[in-house]
Each structure stands twice: as C-alpha cells, then as structure tokens.
Amino acid sequence: MDIHALDILTTIPLIAQKILSLDLESDEGEIKMLSLIENDPQIAGKIIGLANTSFFGSSKRITTFFDAAMLLGIDRVKTVTLGIAYMTAFSSESQGNFDVKNFWLHSIQVANAMRILANEMPRNSLPFLNEMFFAGLLHDIGYMVLNQIDKKLSGKLHSQLAVEKERNSIEIEEEVLELTHCQLGAELARHWHLPEKMIAVIRYHHDPNNEHAAIGQPLVKMVNLAEKILPVTGFNERVSAEIKLEEWLALGINPASGDSIIKRILLQVQQANKNELDFP
C-alpha cells in the first residue's frame, strides 16, 4: 500500500479549522465556539454522549449540550470537539469485519483505562486529562484512514484479523498492508499538524520503548498498557497480554496494585453501555 495515498485526506475538518482560528482566551471566542458546536448536531450529540461516560465522571444523566459544556469546561469542550471532528472526518460505514461502532467503543475504553492508570501514577508525572482523552480517542485512527482510502483492503485486513486470532495484529498488518495502522495514522496526524506528542502516541503505541516515542511519554506507555489490559471485544486488534514488572514501574505505579487496576478496568468494560455513546 502506498502511504502517499494519504494526500487525499489532508484537509482538516471545517469545524476544527474554525475552532482553531478562535481566540479562546476571550469571552467572544468562547461564545463563538459553543455556538459552532451547538449548531452541529452530530458533534453536539457525541459530546453529550461522552459527557455521560465514566471518563468525565458525571454524577447525573446529561441530556443537553449546555449541561455537557458546563460539566466539561471550555478547554475540555475544545479538546473533545477537536477529537471528535478529526475522527468523524472519515466515513462511518463499516466494511468487512471492520466495525466502526466497536472501533469507537474501543477508543473510548482505552481513554477510560488510561484515566484509571493515571489514578495510580505520581502526581508529578500525570498528563492532562484532555491529553489522555485525545490520545485514547485518536491512537488507532490509522484504521479509520485505511477504511477511508481503501475499503476493500481494509475489509481484507479485518477479515484476516478475525481469522488469525492467535497472532499479533501488527504482524498481520505488515503482511497485508506492508505497513501498519500506526504509520498510517501518524502520517495523517503530521498532515493535520497535530502536536508532536500526539503524533508519537499514534506512531509508537505498539513500540513504547522506541527512542522516538520520548516526546509522547507517558501517554505512549499508558495507551500501550491499556490495550494490553483491555479484552478483544468486537474490534479485532490483538496485542501481547503479557505485562512486565517494568511496565508498571515505568509509569510510577506500584506493581502490587496491578491486579486491582486490571480488575477495575475490566469491570468498567463490563458496565459500558454502547448506546450511551451514540457512535458513530
């Protein structure tokens, strides 16, 4: 597969362009951003759905965009909107064994798992909540890229992933595509001028000890560990489930807490309500 096919996807979604052009340090800029989102039913609906997830810790059911914005705050509304805008720039059509709804669910579960990991990490090494959400949502965007530029090849890949259930996904991708979703996603992220930290997360979340991943730490290692813990449920991305002692220590987490953390993440998965997210 030719990675230069990504040239057709270089346009940043319009709502993202508009938000990035606003002065959000001013009341006028904040009001304009909220108005933009409120007038985009697709984005506003997804923000309401996300506000009801455990990631943002709402204690009551959120039903309006205004309530969601009050819960999240301006900075988080911006981050959430940009993340959703980037993801919804692609077709929501499932192809072959690539189930877009399960892909979204997996992305949110990774973000939620990262928050649980963060609760056990030293305060001086914690990334911002916004960064965790953005990293969790976008880390596998390469699969969306592939589904957009070559649905037939995407279907072939995910059919193969569904058949070879004992093999690492990256190995299969390299055989079928001659590259990986990490490379595809990172290339697009560069085209869209995303922060270098996020490009590193997308590119190296399956290779967290790569020297080039340093700029994205600790997010890269958090995504990698989250994917090891999460079960394969409807989205056929498989990684090694082996978690080494040093992986906990690298995040400043006491390895003795490992079993408890895993149980909390798996319980969260069991309690997840797909309808709540209303994706894609």
Per-residue pLDDT of the chain in tens (280 residues, 90 and over written 9): 655 555 555 567 888 888 888 887 888 988 999 999 988 888 888 888 878 876 676 677 888 998 888 888 888 888 888 888 888 777 666 566 788 888 888 888 898 899 999 999 999 888 888 899 899 999 999 998 888 888 889 989 988 988 888 889 999 999 999 999 999 999 989 988 899 999 999 999 999 999 999 999 999 999 999 999 998 766 778 888 889 999 999 999 999 999 999 999 988 887 665 444 544 4
Is the domain of 176 the same as that of 131?
A: yes
Q: Residue 28 burial by CB count (10 A; 0-12/13-18/19+): exposed, middle or buried?
A: exposed
Structural domain that includes position 82: 7-89
Is the domain of 194 the same as that of 142?
A: yes
Is the domain of 97 the same as that of 85?
A: no
Report pTM: 0.86
Crossing angle between the packed helical segments 129-138 and 196-204, to the nearest 10 degrees: 40
Is the domain of 24 the same as that of 37?
A: yes
Is the domain of 28 the same as that of 125?
A: no
> Rounded to whole angstroms, how far apart are CA atoms 91 and 170?
23
For residue 245, the one-letter residue type is: L
Domain count, the chain: 2
Crossing angle between the packed helical segments 141-149 and 181-191, to the nearest 10 degrees: 90
Is 133 a domain residue? yes
Is the domain of 217 the same as that of 113?
A: yes
The CATH number assigned to the domain holding 119 equals 1.10.3210.10
Is the domain of 261 the same as that of 147?
A: yes
Single out the residue of 6, 274, 277 nearest to residue 141, CA to CA.
Answer: 6
Is 212 a domain residue? yes
Burial 221-239 (b: 16+ CB within 10 A, else e): bbbbbbbbbbebeebbbbb
The per-residue pLDDT for 234 is: 63
Strand partners, 95: 98
Is the domain of 185 the same as that of 145?
A: yes
The per-residue pLDDT for 222 is: 97
Domain boundary among 65, 89, 113: 89
Q: Which tokens belong to 218?
A: 């600790």
Is the domain of 107 the same as that of 41?
A: no
Is the domain of 64 the same as that of 101?
A: no
Is the domain of 132 the same as that of 220?
A: yes
